[in-house]
Amino acid sequence: MVTEFRFPDIGEGITEGEIVKWHVKVGDIVKEHDIIADVETDKAVAQMPSPVSGTVLKLNFKEGETVKVGDVVVVIGGRGDVLVNEKKDAGTVMGQLPEAEEEEPSKKADLPKKQEEKPGILASPATRKLAKDLGVDIFSVSGTGPGGRITDDDVKNAKGLKVESPTEPMQKMTVVRKFDFFGYVEHVPFKGVRKATAKNMVKSLYTATHVTHMDEADITDLYFVREKERAELRKKGVHLTFLPFILKALVKALKEYPYLNATLDEERQEIILKKYYNIGIAVDIEGGLLVPVVKNVQLKTISELAKEIQELAEKARSRTLDTMDMKGGTFTVTNVGSIGGIFATPIINYPEVAILAMGKIIEKPVVIGGKIGIRKIMPLSLAFDHRVLDGAEAARFTTRLIELLQDPEGLMIE
């Protein structure tokens, strides 16, 4: 039995992927569930398992090429199968390609000699029927589809019929210039995570009404608490950043100001206040940005959050995040300070209604009790959807968040 494995529709708005690496070649024997390829979508790099056991007969795409949902990625056959014996086309996104039933001897005898000796072809049952109805010898038609597949338009062209809009046009030669009027340039494909990020950011920018509120938090006391706890967690292999403390403070502030932990249902004209606290962490990776989500922050300790954040960040950078790792967020944070930024105007992770950017911690002179002291200051930038809440609410929320960050002992109560 021959199986055509098609790139599946896995939902989440994913319509295409890029073959990053093949783990097999034509002629290799694979078992069901063996990893045959790494495929990069706009979410992550996923490992593609073999749907059946058998022999790899054909790889329809090269490494670096883009495959769309429904495209046949690989053809796998059973013992003794060869590609030229392929008879029928699978009709589902991921399905088996059953062997065609043998034609009755009486019908086979009536076939032209040329047709009996000709090896099998790539064409769907509908295309074969069209050729028969038009009186076209399908074995004489050259296929222009993927892998040499014969399309309906190929049959119509062979008959001399006019084709209005080709469904699978032949590729045209494209000239890519290595320089413009002013000098040399480099062409970088706009795809994968970068393309998906751009699409989501444009949707957010032209849907939500963005406003950014900025302030500063004195985290001097938190800095020393974190230093003490970091030494203990380092023994357990956990790197403690300021993020776990910020997440704990965020949950407390969001409980008091629930309109920042919400979404807007425009169709039903409702503001949906979330009673759970799943915080997305923006992670900078090569080629774009991923936002894994820490679930149920309110139920976890500082040390548990530190460990989970570290694990999610590592999975994001190695592109091994599961789809569920990036779903369910109610609020997002991004740390521009880790690369030297101070303030920012972050774009909301739609359909959420707010995002917080932390800036680089700076030592500044601050007047405390009439005396000047050097304090560690963290800049904060809160972008929010003005359709859901007003500036006063955002300012109160930020002020409360600062109060919580300036009371680290309260955050450590677990």
Q: Quote the CA–CA distance of 144 and 169 in Å, as a whole number.
A: 8
Average pLDDT across the chain, whole number: 83
Phi, psi (5° rounding) for residue 163? Answer: -105, 115
**pLDDT-based confidence at 112, cuts 50/70/90?**
very low
Q: Give the model confidence (pLDDT) of 217-226 as tens digits.
A: 999 999 999 9
| Residue 134 scores a pLDDT above 90 | no
Conformational region of residue 269, where left means phi above 0, alpha means psi within -120 to 50, and beta covers everything else: left
Q: Where in the chain is the domain with CATH 2.40.50.100?
A: 3-159
Closest CA to 283 of 253, 258, 318: 318
Q: Which of 40-44, 136-140, 298-302 has the lowest mean pLDDT?
A: 40-44
**pLDDT given at position 206:** 86
**Torsion angle of alpha carbons 402, 405, 409, 414, nearest 10°?**
110
The dotted CATH code for 193-412 is 3.30.559.10
Cis, peptide link before residue 351, omega less than 30° from 0: yes
Query: Taking the alpha carbons of 294, 300, 301, 307 in that order, is the dihedral positive or negative?
Result: negative
Which pLDDT belongs to residue 171? Answer: 45
pLDDT higher than threshold 60 for residue 114: no
Quickly tell me which residue has 């993020």 as its tokens. 243
| Residue with the two structure tokens 């700076």 | 362
Residue 11's pLDDT band, with cuts at 50, 70 and 90, is low
Taking each helix axis from N to C end, the angle separating 220-234 and 243-256, rounded to the nearest 10 degrees, works out to 130
pLDDT of residue 174 exceeding 80, the answer is no
CATH 3.30.559.10 in the chain is located at 193-412
pLDDT of residue 5: 87
Active site residue 239: no
* Annotated catalytic residue within 33, 210, 239, 386: 386
- The pLDDT of residue 392 is 97
Record the tokens describing residue 24, joined without a space. 């097999």
Whether 126 shows a pLDDT value over 90: the answer reads no
Residue 23 has pLDDT above 60, yes or no: yes
Task: Name, in order, each residue with C-beta under 8 angstroms of 296's C-beta and a sequence gap of 6 or more.
Answer: 276, 277, 278
Whether 19 contacts 39, CB under 8 Å: yes
Per residue in 279-334, pLDDT (tens digit) is 999 999 887 889 999 999 999 999 999 999 999 999 998 888 888 999 999 999 99
And the tokens for 174? 């494209």
How far apart, in whole angstroms, are the C-alpha atoms of residue 330 and residue 391? 20
What is the share, in percent, of the chain residues with pLDDT greater than 90?
45
| Residue of 188 and 28 predicted with greater confidence | 28
Tell me the fold of 3-159: OB fold (Dihydrolipoamide Acetyltransferase, E2P) (2.40.50)
